[in-house]
Amino acid sequence: MSGVGKVVCVTGASGYIASWLVKLLLQRGYTVKATVTNLSDKNKVAHLNELEGAEERLHLFEANLMGDGSFDPAVHGCEGVFHIASPAFLEVTDPQVELIEQAVKGTLNVLKSCSKVPSVRRVVLTSSLAAVMFNRSLKDPNVIIDEKWFSDPVFCEEIKAWYCLAKTLAEEAAWVFSKQNGIDLVVINPSYVIGPLLQPILNYTSKTFLNVIKENKAFPWPFYQLVDVRDVAQAHVVAFENPSASGRYILIERTLNHSETLEILQKLYPSLDLPKISTAEDPTFQVCNKKALDLGIVFTPSEVSLKDMVESLKEKNFLT
């Protein structure tokens, strides 16, 4: 499907995933109405305005997740809406205010705007693998986590996994509201997103890898389910354009533990002083990407994603 003549909205357009999505949509001929929190902030708008096709077909709007009706102007007249805007960090002082309210109310505010616009035929929501796998269900090498799994909010709260809780509650609220209001909703559940940056500032995942490379810090988790940011953007477009797309889609290329990830980086960049990991903890379960593959998503090898991420950090002078 060509996007020529079609108008779509992307929320949180200045962010890591959303910037790549805006770029891809413009390449496909779409007119994009993109929201950011501050139109005066060059870090949020300059890289978007520099994209090919932006001068003719990119329209920027200021919107706030907590503002009732804030997204109405951007959603008006759109055929599709990609809701990506949501806080993405793990360290918080007040999780209810900083993460949960922003994620849940923001999602509902966007969907309320969509419910007012008859032209909106599909909404694609960016959720997370964090909204899939955090529960008390037994996880052993024979367990395969797929789209039927849902994180348990009570469990997330007990283990103080506030980001997981926010993504879980936001996705739950989206499903309920969409069903009540007849919105065709498709949800994307990416794993740990890596790859090159378009935005001029660090996001959480790129900052984590920069800390490993530059400050010799260990990863905060024993293993990672990885996916390339460009594949995530592509999956959003396919989820909108393909009439058969429905439900949720887990996006993951593969799972790597500490040692495997560091080994890849060391082979790519022998001069790097990487942290030494004495043990390699493997995941005790599998994550299935079959549904995404069946939709036509082709995953970039993690070796390529890691290399492109490092090169991007060097290009933007975060890594010398």
**320 residues of the chain, pLDDT tens digit each:** 578 999 999 999 999 999 999 999 999 999 999 999 999 999 999 999 999 999 999 999 999 999 999 999 999 999 999 999 998 876 778 889 989 999 999 999 999 999 999 999 999 999 999 999 999 998 888 899 999 999 999 999 999 999 999 999 999 999 999 999 999 999 999 999 999 999 999 998 898 888 888 877 777 777 889 999 999 999 999 999 999 999 999 999 999 888 888 889 999 999 888 877 656 677 778 999 999 999 999 999 999 999 999 999 999 999 87
Which domain covers residue 98, as residue numbers?
7-315
Would you call 207 helix, strand, or coil by DSSP?
Answer: helix
Answer for the pair 170, 103: CB distance below 8 angstroms, yes or no.
Answer: yes
What are the φ/ψ torsions at residue 204 (nearest 5 degrees)? -60, -50
In this structure, the chain runs to a length of 320
Tell me if 224 is assigned to some domain: yes
Tell me if 2 is assigned to some domain: no
Answer for the pair 43, 71: CB distance below 8 angstroms, yes or no.
Answer: no
The tokens describing 58, both together, are: 């990119």
Tell me if 202 is assigned to some domain: yes
pLDDT score recorded for residue 280:
60
pLDDT score recorded for residue 275:
78
Tell me if 221 is assigned to some domain: yes
Tell me if 1 is assigned to some domain: no
Q: In sequence order, what are the residues at sequence separation of 6 or more whose Cβ sits closer than 8 angstroms to the Cβ of residue 41?
A: 14
Cα separation, 236 vs 77, whole angstroms: 20
Domains contained in the chain, number: 1
pLDDT score recorded for residue 211:
86
Tell me if 126 is assigned to some domain: yes
Tell me if 28 is assigned to some domain: yes
The pTM of the full predicted model, rounded to 2 decimals, is 0.96
Instruction: Give the number of other CB atoms < 10 A from CB of residue 224.
Output: 23
Domain holding 263: CATH number? 3.40.50.720
pLDDT score recorded for residue 277:
63
What are the φ/ψ torsions at residue 113 (nearest 5 degrees)? -60, -40
Tell me if 320 is assigned to some domain: no
Cα separation, 69 vs 217, whole angstroms: 43
pLDDT score recorded for residue 278:
58
Residue (of 114, 3, 125) closest to 58 by Cα position = 3
